Each structure stands twice: as C-alpha cells, then as structure tokens.
Copies of this chain bind each other. A is one copy, B any other.
C-alpha cells in the first residue's frame, strides 16, 4: 500500500488489553481507508499500522466490511455547529476549504474517506444515511427554517464539490489565488445560507 507517512505503530506498546487493541485497529482503519480506499487497503496493512495481528480483525469486527462500517460511523461525527458564529460561518468554511489540501490534516482524511465511500455502490447508501443523520439534519436545524433541509443539501453539495476540487488539484492554495478563492466561496455560501 502507499506510504501513510506515519510511524510504524500508532500506539505505544500496550499490555494485553482488548479494548485498547480494538481502538488502535479502528484508528488505523480510519486512516488507512481514508488514504487508500476500501479495496486497496488490506487487513494486513491495517494490522501492521495498528501494531497488531491480522487475525484479530475478523474476530473483533466480524470481517473487513464490519470494520469499514464501524470506521465510517466513527468518522462521521456530528460537528459542533451550534458553536459557530453565523456571521462568520461562510468565511470560516471557505477558509477551511482553502486549507484542505494537506493529507496530514485530519479533516482532509475524513473527507477523503467519505468520498471513497461515495464511489462504491455498496457503501454509498450507508454513507447517504449517515450524512443525512449527522450532517444534513444538524445543518437544517441550525439554519432553522422551512427550506432548511433543501438548503442544507445545497450547502453540503458545495462543500463536497470544493473539497473534491482541492483534492484533484493537489497543491495548496497560496497568496492572491487563495484570497480570491476564499472571497468567491464566501460569497457563494452566503448566497445560500443568507437567502430565505
């Protein structure tokens, strides 16, 4: 598999502790799946990254699919939207997008994970449900009006689109280009969340 730019082990050597081992495997899976995708990631890779043994994975997670499902659930965590200041929301999101090219950034990893899930026919429905529950619903409530659901969807789409764009481009945004990007994206988002 491709280089994960990580030390060989994610965790310090631990004594016999099933919970810690399980957690280490799950964490390794989240990283590995995000970078390499479901198919290109082998259980052996994950086990090595977790400093564990391959055979434990089918035992603890009931197989590769079970591990993936659990990693996906763990990855999509409801964001603390309520903490965000609505007057700064658009710009904050735009800034976040502009910075999202570094693979080391956990947000980038998360997104890549989700995108990987979106492209597989088997994982796409699962992702759809998860996104609805943990992403669209909170945003809708946060927007708090009748058309909230639909606007949340549009917002999510824009968000996804820009992240894919950054992913394709690879390089980070710098200088004037970055400024222009942030400006433009801010305006677009504002247009969506501002309008009734």
Contacts and interface: CB of A to CB of B under 8 A. Distances in A.
Chain A: interface secondary structure? Answer: helix
A144 B177 CA distance: 18
A174 interface: no
Interface string A145-179: 00100110110111111101101111000000100
Interface stretch (A31-39, A49-57, A61-69, A79-87): A31-39
A40 B165 CA distance: 24
Nearest to A185: B154
How many copies of the shown chain assemble into the complex? Answer: 2
B169 A164 contact: no
Interface stretch (A6-14, A16-24, A70-78, A121-129): A121-129
A180 B150 contact: yes
B191 A188 contact: yes
Q: How many A residues touch the partner, as a band?
A: 35 or more
B167 A161 contact: no
A110 interface: no
Contact of A37 (B35, B36, B119, B127): B119
Contact of A168 (B118, B147, B162, B192): B118
A159 B159 CA distance: 11
